[in-house]
């Protein structure tokens, strides 16, 4: 659908005349976005896989944590008119207790299996106990149970009974570096809640759904995108092309770099889905923007009847009118009832809050309940154990590791390895033709690249030299001719490729750099790439541009880390360790070195293992450049120990060039 005046595509398809990334105002949760034009189902399926993988990686769910025993405690059953209510606690992780209430039909036939629904609540002050004209959790659960569903209402973190950690737990860069986030835990809680429903003998696992409003609508969309067991979804007052979710539990770092909620909701297609909007909140354009965008995806699948979008003239809500829309839609899907009027909500009576509580006030949590610090350390350890358990032991296990962690690397660094045909190149008019501007369609990047070609080429690799100071670090300031190692490389017959990466060299912009260090409100890294992510992408782009033959990537000084992270895009890697201390997080938490999820990805261990079995030379690593022993083990295990060299001290130019000459 066409974009309106304030919904323009952020970057042009053609190569811009300057790098627009730093000049562009940072994206926020309120940035308006158009629904992209997907012309074919194949095009959407490719995009769908990307969005799904991106969610899983950046909520810390790839690789998926081991599903430990839920140890469900279901108790306190009460009989009511047409339904029963029970209290439930499950352990989604060992020592993490998720609480809720289970509503069932009271006159169930023996052996009969029922459709089941998760009910995810929004940011009501009293969570799953909310019961007001504008929104009631109990009303939905009771009505669904009376209609023949098994319904489970469960807490957000920090609400009601699930209070062992605060709702704003894990909200620092130090947490996010390790992939620990509230959104990750809540998404895992939703997955485990689905596991709980599937474990019940009276649940038909082919008829599972989720519905939620506001922040619960975000969980509904996310679970719909990653959980194939769901047969239908009903996200309410949250599918928007403007506001994407105003809480930390909806904004994991890296999450919405390149897509937004309407696309997330579309990932559920072609399974049945209803979205409910309200004229008084950010879903006010449901009939003109979000709904038609979603409907288009269902049309590509040939299943337009599986999608419905409605809007009602209220403020932000999940009131009786909105609830009735959901009952009618899901009733058609699961109960075969075509007359929505028969499924309208009857009068109900909510139980007192205390009667629904699993751990009432002054009731101690179980003795093994983890506190915030213990949960943080546990989740960090899970990520590291996942890497260690997959450490390659031979070539076959290396390929398995690379297949999995290549995806994790791409979605953690938020990068792509472009094909040369996908690049946009502008050659600057100059007598020797050495200067180029290189970028990618609709990415806003424009990278100045200088190529020096030897007069007597011996078909040697091109060497991409990278410095934190840009191309100028390798050129004489007066003449523009190469100097130092760059000149030696050219004289020996190597093509030398230099570039000014994001906000370096000729593209350095002190104001832009300073601005990126300022807080733009919360969730900057949910919607914007960090400096290091942009620079790693630029290196990959330049390597693709340089790659008519073999490409060697060489990072000097602190840029050595940049090139290690980009090493998978080259045929060989030389990197200066710069005596960096990677035994703690201090260096990686610096603005210029920060990537959310980098530790969980496996930092340099994974990045270098993705290069294997290609040649790697690390030098000047010192005694605290942690991870190189791990990589050496991998090269040894695959029988390529001579292809990996780690020198703790600095190396002379002659020594480096000697190594290069043996390739």
Residue-range domain boundaries for the chain: 73-381, 395-661
In the chain (663 residues long), the average pLDDT of successive 10-residue segments reads 44 90 87 93 98 98 97 98 97 98 87 95 97 98 98 98 94 96 98 98 98 98 98 98 95 95 98 98 98 98 98 98 98 97 98 96 92 97 97 98 98 96 86 84 94 83 97 93 95 95 93 73 88 98 92 98 98 98 97 96 98 98 97 98 97 95 90
CA–CA distance, 465 with 610 (Å, rounded to integer): 20
Q: How many CB atoms neighbour CB 608 within 10 A?
A: 28
| Residue 6: per-residue pLDDT | 45
The residue whose two tokens read 């809720």 is: 100
Q: What angle do CA 137, 141, 146 make, to 5 degrees?
A: 150
For residue 552, what are the β-bridge partners? Answer: 463, 572
| Residue 430: per-residue pLDDT | 64
pLDDT digits (tens, 9 = 90+) for 121-151: 999 999 999 999 999 999 999 999 999 999 9
Tokens matching residue 150: 């098994």
Q: DSSP H helical segments within 103-204, as ranges? A: 137-147, 173-176, 182-199
CB 67 within 8 A of CB 160: no
Class of domain 73-381: alpha beta
Report DSSP letters for 341-405, one per residue: GGGPPPP--PPPHHHH-SS-TTPPPPTT---HHHHHHHHHHHHHHHHHHT--SSHHHHHHHHHHH
Residue 371, CB half-sphere, CA atoms under 13 Å: how many?
Answer: 2
How high is the mean pLDDT of the chain?
Answer: 94
| Residue 359: per-residue pLDDT | 96
CA–CA distance, 477 with 66 (Å, rounded to integer): 56
| Residue 329: per-residue pLDDT | 98
Nearest one of 292, 290, 296 to 278, comparing CA atoms? 290
Rg of the chain (C-alpha set): 27
Residue 433, CB half-sphere, CA atoms under 13 Å: how many?
Answer: 2
CB 470 within 8 A of CB 559: no
Tokens matching residue 449: 């690249």
For residue 451, what are the β-bridge partners? Answer: 497
Which CATH number, 3.40.50.1820, 3.40.50.300, 3.30.750.200, 3.30.565.10, labels domain 395-661? 3.40.50.1820
Torsion angle of alpha carbons 398, 408, 415, 549, nearest 10°? 10
Q: What is the DSSP letter of 486?
A: H
For residue 618, what are the β-bridge partners? Answer: 575, 646
Q: What angle do CA 164, 170, 173 make, to 5 degrees?
A: 165
| Residue 517: per-residue pLDDT | 73
Same CATH fold, 395-661 and 73-381? yes
pLDDT digits (tens, 9 = 90+) for 550-581: 999 999 999 999 999 999 999 999 999 999 99
CA–CA distance, 98 with 619 (Å, rounded to integer): 49
pTM for the full model? 0.96
Tokens matching residue 392: 């390659």
CA 332 to chain CA mean position, Å: 34
């Amino acid at each position: 659908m066409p974009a309106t005046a304030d919904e323009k595509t952020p970057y042009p398809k053609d190569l811009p005349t300057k790098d627009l990334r730093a000049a562009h105002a940072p994206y926020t949760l309120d940035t308006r976005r158009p629904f992209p034009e997907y012309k074919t189902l194949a095009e959407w399926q490719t995009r769908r896989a990307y969005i799904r993988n991106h969610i899983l990686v950046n909520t810390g769910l790839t690789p998926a944590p081991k599903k430990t025993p839920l140890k469900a405690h279901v108790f306190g059953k009460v009989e009511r008119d047409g339904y029963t209510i029970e209290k439930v606690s499950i352990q989604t992780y060992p020592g993490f207790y998720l609480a809720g209430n289970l509503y069932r039909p009271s006159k169930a036939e023996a052996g009969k299996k029922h459709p089941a629904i998760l009910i995810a609540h929004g940011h009501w002050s009293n969570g799953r106990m909310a019961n007001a004209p504008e929104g009631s959790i109990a009303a939905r659960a009771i009505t669904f149970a009376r209609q023949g569903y098994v319904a489970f209402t469960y807490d957000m973190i920090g609400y009601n009974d699930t209070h062992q950690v605060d709702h704003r737990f894990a909200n620092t860069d130090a947490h996010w570096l390790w992939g620990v986030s509230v959104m990750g835990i809540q998404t895992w809680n939703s997955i485990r809640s689905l596991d709980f429903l599937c474990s019940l003998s009276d649940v038909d696992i082919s008829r599972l759904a989720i519905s939620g409003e506001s922040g619960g609508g975000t969980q509904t969309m996310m679970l719909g995108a990653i959980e194939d067991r769901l047969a239908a979804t009903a996200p309410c007052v949250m599918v928007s092309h403007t506001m994407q979710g105003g809480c930390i539990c909806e904004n994991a770092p890296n999450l919405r770099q390149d897509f937004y909620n309407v696309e997330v909701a579309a990932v559920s297609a072609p399974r049945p889905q209803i979205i409910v909007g309200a004229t008084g909140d950010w879903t006010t354009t449901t009939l003109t923007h979000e709904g038609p965008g979603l409907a288009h995806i269902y049309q590509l699948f040939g299943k337009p009847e599986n999608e419905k979008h409605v809007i009602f003239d209220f403020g932000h809500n999940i009131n009786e009118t909105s609830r009735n829309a959901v009952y009618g839609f899901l009733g058609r899907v699961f109960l075969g009832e075509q007359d929505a009027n028969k499924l309208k909500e009857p009068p109900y009576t909510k139980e007192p809050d205390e009667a629904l509580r699993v751990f009432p006030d002054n009731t101690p949590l179980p003795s093994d309940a983890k506190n915030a610090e213990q949960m943080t350390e546990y989740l960090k350890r899970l990520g590291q154990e996942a890497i260690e358990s997959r450490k390659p032991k031979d070539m076959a296990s290396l390929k398995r590791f690379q297949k999995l962690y290549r995806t994790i690397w791409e979605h953690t660094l938020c990068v792509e390895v472009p094909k040369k045909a996908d690049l946009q190149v502008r050659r600057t008019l100059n007598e020797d033709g050495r200067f180029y501007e290189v970028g990618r369609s609709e990415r806003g990047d424009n990278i100045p690249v200088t190529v020096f070609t030897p007069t007597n080429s011996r078909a040697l690799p091109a060497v991409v030299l990278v410095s934190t100071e840009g191309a100028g670090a390798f050129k004489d300031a007066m003449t523009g001719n190469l100097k130092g190692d760059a000149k030696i490389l050219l004289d020996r017959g190597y093509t030398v490729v230099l570039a000014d990466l994001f906000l370096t060299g000729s593209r350095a912009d002190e104001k832009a750099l300073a601005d990126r260090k300022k807080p733009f409100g919360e969730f900057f890294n949910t919607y914007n790439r960090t400096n290091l992510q942009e620079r790693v992408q630029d290196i990959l782009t330049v390597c693709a541009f340089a790659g008519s033959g073999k490409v060697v990537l060489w990072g000097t000084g602190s840029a050595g880390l940049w090139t290690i992270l980009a090493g998978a895009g080259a045929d060989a890697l030389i990197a200066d360790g710069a005596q960096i201390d990677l035994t703690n997080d201090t260096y990686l938490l610096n603005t210029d070195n920060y990537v959310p999820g980098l530790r969980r990805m496996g930092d340099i261990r994974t990045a270098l293992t993705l290069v294997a079995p290609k040649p790697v030379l690390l030098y000047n690593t010192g005694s605290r450049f942690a991870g190189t022993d791990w990589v050496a083990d991998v090269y040894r295990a695959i029988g390529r120990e001579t292809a990996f060299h780690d020198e703790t001290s600095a190396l002379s130019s002659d020594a480096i060039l000697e190594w290069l000459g043996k390739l």
